[in-house]
Copies of this chain bind each other. A is one copy, B any other.
Amino acid sequence: MSVLVVGSTALDSIKTPYRENLRLLGGSASHAAVAASFFAPVKLVGVVGDDFPKRYFELYRRHRIDLDGLQIARGKTFHWSGEYEVNMNNRRTLATELGVFEKFTPTLPPSHRDTPFVLLANIAPALQHHVLDQMRRPRFVAADTMDLWLNVALKDLLRLLRRIDALVLNESEARQLTKLDNVISAARRIHRLGPRYVIVKKGEHGAILSAPSGLFVSPAFPLEKVVDPTGAGDSFAGGLIGYLASRSGPLEANLRRAMIYGSTVASFCCQGFGLTATTKTTRTAIEQRAKKLMQMVAF
């Protein structure tokens, strides 16, 4: 089944202690859509400016991503620049130029409204609502978010939590949202706010799924070298929902495996700047690495 991904489509300029890269394809929706495309047909909903490089349209197309929902607006594409510290865990935003993103309203083409799996990748909660308003009874809706929305759009976000099946967020966001230091307590609290599934991303320490049947812990795929973690969380969410959309059978069992596949795609993402490593991988390579990851928790 197919996946609709809405979020930011951006150009990222990323500085790490090792290198600097300008105007790479980035944004939550780009990472998530490419990640999901290894498993299922993807429909991308976003906006780019008229400066958006042709090669990035081609990149989406190589991943057979449906671009009917990608608006091209007059003006500049959303541009983010940031810097990582040596340990690659701390990130600092240097500049955010919203460009065409400032006036973006995600209007879905009629062909998109029946998409069964929906990922509301990181974007303003009001826009995530707007997408859901246009959907016809999707089977499974996951949403990602970020600290910014907890600060400036908490009310919208809380209202969103009652409309989704799964919330994907990182540890510090879980703490900020619930005011609870302990991540398990925080997950429990988030369930009470709405979502049946809560997925807490812990970076190099993996991710935790809290579900009605209990907890599931996925390790991160251990990498000896992280080149650029930008988009790893979005790739995780994209890989997860893509895998889910590709499977029949009971959702919760699929979700456990989907955590492994999400972690796997995220690990590829970390091995190159922007989307460079993710786009070079293949379903076969993903399967091999996912298998390795599953062996790391097997007895």
> Which positions in A face B, CB cutoff 8 Å?
86-87, 181-185, 202, 205-206, 208, 214-217, 219, 222-225, 253, 256-257, 260, 292, 294-299
21 cross-chain CB contacts under 8 A: A86-B181, A87-B181, A182-B223, A182-B224, A182-B225, A183-B222, A184-B224, A185-B224, A202-B205, A206-B217, A206-B219, A214-B292, A214-B296, A215-B222, A216-B296, A216-B297, A217-B222, A217-B296, A253-B299, A260-B299, A294-B299
Beyond A216-B296, A297-B297, 18 extra complex contacts between A and B, CB < 8 Å: A86-B181, A182-B224, A182-B225, A183-B222, A184-B224, A205-B205, A206-B217, A206-B219, A214-B292, A214-B295, A214-B296, A215-B296, A217-B219, A217-B296, A219-B219, A253-B299, A256-B298, A260-B299
- Which residues on B sit within 8 Å (CB–CB) of A299? 253, 256-257, 260, 294
CB-defined contacts of A219 to chain B, threshold 8 Å: 206, 217, 219
Q: Which residues of B contact A215 (CB under 8 A)?
A: 222, 296
Who on chain B is nearest to A187 by CB? B222
Within the assembled complex, what's the spacing in Å between the Cα atoms of A298 and B292? 14
| CB neighbours of A206 from chain B (8 A) | 205, 217, 219
CB nearest neighbor in B for A202: B205
Chain B residues with CB under 8 A of A217: 206, 219, 222, 296-297
Task: Give the distance in Å from the alpha carbon of A94 to the alpha carbon of B8 in the complex.
Answer: 50
A223 and B295: CB pair below 8 A?
no
Expressed in whole angstroms, the Cα–Cα distance for A181 and B215 within the complex equals 30
Q: Within the complex, which residue of B184, B205, B216, B260 is in contact with A223, where a contact is CB–CB below 8 Å?
A: B184
Closest to A217 in B: B219
Bound Cα distance from A223 to B260, whole angstroms: 22
Could you tell me the distance in whole angstroms from the C-beta of A43 to the nearest C-beta in chain B?
A: 29
User: Within the complex, what minimum Cβ distance (angstroms) separates A165 from chain B?
Assistant: 20
Q: Which residues of B contact A298 (CB under 8 A)?
A: 256
Q: What residues on B are CB-neighbors of A294 within 8 Å?
A: 299
- CB-CB under 8 A from A297, the residues of chain B are 216-217, 297
**A225–B184 alpha-carbon span in the complex (Å):** 9
**A94 → B minimal CB distance (Å):** 24
Which residues on the B side are within 8 Å of A87 (C-beta)?
A: 181
Q: Which chain B residue has the least Cβ–Cβ distance from A203? A: B205
Residues of B within 8 A of A253 (CB): 299
